[in-house]
Structure 1
């Protein structure tokens, strides 16, 4: 186990872990379905004997179970229970072995060697080997692959700055033997950053499945994207009842030990009914930051329920208003800065979050060690300055723009009304269009949008290139039409700084680079950070072993148990 250098967040995570220490949790019915209605009411706080199972509540439906192409945290929560990673980051912000039982870093910080657990098996009984790891990274690196994972691997030697190599042939990957794999980077890198990105956040897929992919550009259409039958995590996929729940069962052959729970259900619960579902025992655990929390207006009531234990923590996530700067009328940075000055972001935090959050000016919140407090003085709420910038930019005050707002996160939906009123107060006509989250993602990817509300869950490394760079997986700032697929808005200077940061190992030098990158970001403002909410989560006291980690609660589900 290697100590990780993310200290700013430690106090928050440890405090939440202490709050949840000793919690216990409930199981559903013996037939293997999530408890609902009167049945669930009768199961709180005690449940009959039967299969040990837990139900997690999230706000919106997953749109895939593909660990290479997924693009939402709703999916991430489920995938991390199904597919293995080399490492995991625990509640103490330390790296723990998962598929890798140990690892080494060379003195010059350019070579990372992982030694895999020889007992690791896929759910079909075949061994998990270094060849599976290499095949996964190679598939991500193929230029034609539809993936959101390239920013996690792009420091590996043999990849270009976009994280790609022809046919996925990466010179910086060497399979030493079936259970040893070595990665060489382009130059010295921060070990914590590399281990968090590649080790913790790249999910390994069976090479046998990847070898069958005929068209990597359509990898999200592979049968295992929606029905993953060969997996290697602590739980196995059973079924997905669309817009209702995902059912998982334990993997009895999990190499770190047979999970104590028999089943986990991930149930889609509207935010408005989350508190009632917790009270009735229909769900045991809220999904976590930005995807399934106790509504802030219900927090006092829910946290006082005797069968629940509350906890709050700061995650590396935030909400923002994306701006399609590829659209001519949104291409002037003065327009985007005017929008930022027009929006009363502190009002959103105070009124909608009841103070349980912070206003941001960059993609890095106070949980990140590269967060710069002095930069938070920029982009203050100033309607008069907003009007001035719009005048200077020649804004057409007769134009109406559409604010695309995904449903599911009620605070985000309510913030759309505040943002609409704020922008209209400075002369910008705004229409709010609400769509479900998968529709929002599809429209964004096609470039069919102007401004949009969305959230982002990141790693603790300060690299935010995936959201802003020319090839960023979450940079959807483009015009509609296939001819514009590779014509995204980006800032060359910002791209240059973020690339330097990725390939720098010295902390002080990285701090200088990322401070400058944040300054350039504020000047260009390709997206407008709004707020970073504290996660408001609860766990039924019958569930044991739940510990908040930096990426939420589900990092150690093989250790969860329930008291009957």
Structure 2
């Protein structure tokens, strides 16, 4: 899910927000469980800053441009060793520990230590031939032939085979599959629709050529196929082959004793709390430098204590609201990177049709009036939110393609700028009349908007309350409910069941390497939690993966139109682009975050047995 500086700024802030900020000055925690799952790629390391180049502070604001994403090595590597990785969250991880089934970022953090995809990508997000599998593409761009390296084996010693890769596609295409992966990337495979509908027993477009060779033929050649459109996560057929597809995601083989082909093996799990990994000496890239990795969930409120005491060596992300007070922590080096992610406000516009497996917009939805949605977007000052809540390390978001994809992010689009007077006028003109403190619907009926947001530290509640107060300031009666991560996503519909009591929600997306937004906003995307669909969006999403879109300029124009369409229709609106800040104990060697590095987890080492601690 990467980003840039704010496109524009505002100097005004509502008085009630200032009151909140007095409280926030004493806060020491933030929401650290929203971001995506960055993976190692090739190329473009940024040199570490010298002592004189430490992140600069101007008016209490920091810039992600002043951080390195690659740790400076201090000392020589010792043989073996153990490190502790902190998964920062106020809730247990769900424990769906297989790439074919998981849905939440906390689980992806657990997965990343013991499993991986067969394909890797470069700094431009294009698949390379440096991963566990190589590939060749036919002249017409529709047929991919993959070759899995001979030394790529599951952690029980069985080879990772073409049959395993085919099997993953068969499971995801099975109508009893209960995960989130079946979307346009799969329906673009020749024969997948017939297989999914029970009209064929096999997927005609996927052919096993040998133990290590697989051929996949797609209906349409699209630019997305080379940047994330190929599903590259096999499923061990020798383990799951005789299992009911409907029971796979809840099986012990996923929850209690998962298997992968990554650098570390799962040794033990305390469900939702911790995982102990041991090195996989047969890892295809080479034997890992570390003997052991321990992952444990740590609450945002205890993260500083855990880092200073050596209770953890590094974390998935540091709450950026805590950074200013801890920027000089003596035993760590802070790394920073633009995150492939954004936070957003979403409006419920329909439901998920589980039978048709697509969104079903409801013309009578409470939030169905675009004027109401636009007014709510104009009412919030996200430039000031980024500055006051996050010290410049999150910043005003304008469109739904973040600056992590600079070729396609439309930096000229201002989005729905902060303008509370305009918000009031939009509501007035649309017939939302004030009746005392709050407005009624245009037909005179009571309007109460139910808003849910995630817990995750001291900032989470005040930030959500700021949005509520911003909306109340333009006359909207908005009621807030705070929920922990797993419950939140159940309520918004990650399981296909939309809670009718939810009208508006604050979420976050970690976006994939492919710029195509169909996986989050298309008709067949279960992650399209707003349940928005339109013919114009259908046209643009189809055009974005057409043959014509191989021309980058053509594709840029298409996604520029799409970004503007989403500004106009407002099924959701982005609030903040994000920086990832990660403190790393000084004993850690060969470590980097974000995209554009050539360091991999198997290379991580330590310079001494015990973490460096604050004395």
Shorter-chain TM-score bucket reads 0.7 to 0.9
Change (3 A) 1:24 1:440: farther
Change (3 A) 1:241 1:458: same
Structure 1 residue 447: Cα displacement: 1.1
Change (3 A) 1:58 1:380: same
Structure 2 partner of 1:373: 411
TM-score of the aligned structures, taking structure 2 as reference length: 0.76
The 2-side partners of 1:228 and 1:460 are apart by: 29
Bigger CA drift: 207-216 or 133-142?
207-216
Question: Which of 427, 439, 443 is the matching residue for 2:491?
Answer: 443
Structure 2 partner of 1:260: 289
Question: Which of 590, 605, 610 is the matching residue for 1:561?
Answer: 605
Structure 2 residue matching 1:311: 3-state secondary structure: strand
Change (3 A) 1:286 1:229: closer
The 1-side partners of 2:456 and 2:140 are apart by: 46
Change (3 A) 1:160 1:333: farther
- Higher helix proportion: 1
Tell me whether 1:119 sits opposite 2:167 in the alignment.
no
Tell me whether 1:235 sits opposite 2:264 in the alignment.
yes
Question: Which of 537, 540, 547 is the matching residue for 2:585?
Answer: 540
Structure 1 partner of 2:525: 472
Change (3 A) 1:472 1:554: farther
Change (3 A) 1:19 1:115: closer
Q: Which runs of 5+ in 2 are unaligned?
A: 1-41, 49-66, 351-363, 433-438, 441-445, 609-615
The 1-side partners of 2:288 and 2:273 are apart by: 24
Structure 2 partner of 1:490: 533
Question: Which of 221, 241, 265 is the matching residue for 1:188?
Answer: 221
Change (3 A) 1:544 1:164: farther
Tell me whether 1:359 sits opposite 2:390 in the alignment.
no
Bigger CA drift: 94-103 or 332-341?
94-103
Change (3 A) 1:119 1:257: same
Contact 2:162 2:213 in 1 (8 A): yes
Structure 1 residue 26: Cα displacement: 11
The 2-side partners of 1:432 and 1:26 are apart by: 50
Structure 1 residue 523: Cα displacement: 1.4
Structure 2 residue matching 1:535: 3-state secondary structure: strand
Q: Encode CA deviations 1:312-333: one digit per residue, 9 max, x unaligned.
A: 1112101111211126211122
Q: Encode CA deviations 1:28-85: one digit per residue, 9 max, x unaligned.
A: xxxxxxxxxxxxxxxxxxxxx9842332332243212132221111111222222231
Structure 2 partner of 1:130: 162
Tell me whether 1:419 sits opposite 2:464 in the alignment.
no
The 1-side partners of 2:232 and 2:505 are apart by: 28
Structure 2 partner of 1:38: none
The 2-side partners of 1:454 and 1:409 are apart by: 15
Tell me whether 1:171 sits opposite 2:208 in the alignment.
no
Q: Encode CA deviations 1:457-500: one digit per residue, 9 max, x unaligned.
A: 111322112222222121234xxxxxxxxxx4422321231122
Q: Encode CA deviations 1:235-278: one digit per residue, 9 max, x unaligned.
A: 12233324432222222222221211122222211222212211
Q: Which runs of 5+ in 1 are unaligned?
A: 1-8, 28-48, 288-292, 478-487
Tell me whether 1:246 sits opposite 2:275 in the alignment.
yes
Question: Which of 177, 181, 186 is the matching residue for 1:145?
Answer: 177
Question: Which of 296, 302, 320 is the matching residue for 2:344?
Answer: 320
The 1-side partners of 2:116 and 2:541 are apart by: 29
Question: Which of 351, 366, 370 is the matching residue for 1:333?
Answer: 370
Structure 1 partner of 2:71: 20
Bigger CA drift: 406-415 or 124-133?
406-415
Tell me whether 1:209 sits opposite 2:239 in the alignment.
yes
Question: Which of 359, 376, 383 is the matching residue for 1:346?
Answer: 383
Equivalence map 1:305-316=2 (5 Å): 305-316=329-340
Q: Encode CA deviations 1:491-528: one digit per residue, 9 max, x unaligned.
A: 23212311221234221221121111112111111112
The 1-side partners of 2:166 and 2:332 are apart by: 43
Bigger CA drift: 88-97 or 511-520?
88-97
When Rg is computed on C-alpha atoms for both structures, the one with the higher figure is 2
CA RMSD of aligned residues (A): 3.1
Structure 1 residue 96: Cα displacement: 5.4
Structure 1 residue matching 2:339: 3-state secondary structure: coil
The 1-side partners of 2:245 and 2:604 are apart by: 39
Aligned length: 514
Tell me whether 1:79 sits opposite 2:103 in the alignment.
no
Structure 1 residue 184: Cα displacement: 2.2
Structure 1 partner of 2:58: none
Structure 2 residue matching 1:204: 3-state secondary structure: coil
Contact 2:132 2:284 in 1 (8 A): no
Structure 1 residue 384: Cα displacement: 1.9
TM-score of the aligned structures, taking structure 1 as reference length: 0.83
Structure 2 partner of 1:529: 574
Change (3 A) 1:68 1:510: same
The 2-side partners of 1:24 and 1:472 are apart by: 48
Change (3 A) 1:343 1:458: same
Structure 2 residue matching 1:121: 3-state secondary structure: coil
Structure 2 partner of 1:403: 451
The 2-side partners of 1:242 and 1:456 are apart by: 25
Structure 1 residue matching 2:412: 3-state secondary structure: helix
